[in-house]
Amino acid sequence: MAIDDPLRERIEAVLRTLPLRQDLSATELESRIAVAGSELTRRAKITLSFLPDPGAPALDKQATEALHKLACSLDTAIHTLAFLLPEPATVALVDAGLVPEKAQQALEAMLKSIDGAYLSFKPKKPGRPPAHLKKILIDSLGATYFDLTGKRPTVSTRNNKPSGIFYNFTLKMLQAMRLEFFKPEYGVRRLCQVWRKRRPSAAI
């Protein structure tokens, strides 16, 4: 199906360059790529919204950070509902009156509202996006990499510079998002250190 969003189209094109999992059907992989493409597009647009635009109204720092924290919590909940709940947990939620699919839809609707707030305003002093957005973006790329490849993100060093499949994927994704000015070396190394200590099933 055609995508009427050049940014998302570029992002999904990079996702398809990954060594995708062999234990999932083509339909399941397409579904995961679509989910990841939508999430990463949203994150990229929020990050890009911090770039200078003098004509836009201002949203103060406290409000921006509060919206960001709420969005991160909703993201975590959505990803957990979509991919990480074992069957007994899903059954328990249904027995308690919560249908995961409907809950996910409700959370996604809340995220769209947050997107609207972010994209309608600019920080009082536009400039480069704050550091915490860069961290969240790199973390999202790590979770996406794990979800689509089944492998933990890792980084190696060659000629005193980071290298490897995940690092190259990060560079390509930042280029697709038009965020080339982000320097991901530290963020990628930090993320990979975290993943070395993480349970294989923990994708968030």
Say if 161 falls within a structural domain: yes
25-39 mean pLDDT: 93
Nearest-angstrom CA–CA distance, 131 and 111 = 21
Domain count, the chain: 1
Q: Which of 133, 132, 141 is nearest to 203 (CA)?
A: 141
pLDDT of 199 strictly over 70: no
State residue 37's pLDDT score. 93
Q: Which of 122, 193, 128, 127 is nearest to 155 (CA)?
A: 193
Nearest-angstrom CA–CA distance, 180 and 185 = 12
Say if 203 falls within a structural domain: no
Band the pLDDT of 4: cuts 50, 70, 90.
low
Say if 1 falls within a structural domain: no
Q: What is the pTM of this model?
A: 0.66
Say if 204 falls within a structural domain: no
State residue 94's pLDDT score. 86
Residue 69 CB-half CA count within 13 A: 6
Q: Which of 15, 10, 6 is nearest to 144 (CA)?
A: 15
Say if 27 falls within a structural domain: yes
Residue 147, classified by CB atoms within 10 Å of its CB into exposed (0-12), middle (13-18) or buried (19+), is buried
Say if 19 falls within a structural domain: yes
Q: Are strands 156-158 and 161-163 parallel, antiparallel or unpaired?
A: antiparallel
102-126 pLDDT, tens per residue? 888 888 788 777 766 665 555 545 5
Rg (CA), the chain: 18
Say if 112 falls within a structural domain: yes
Q: Which domain holds residue 138?
A: 6-196
Top pLDDT among 119 and 75 is at: 75
Structure tokens given for 133: 């957005």
144-184 pLDDT, tens per residue? 999 999 999 999 988 888 999 999 999 999 999 999 888 89
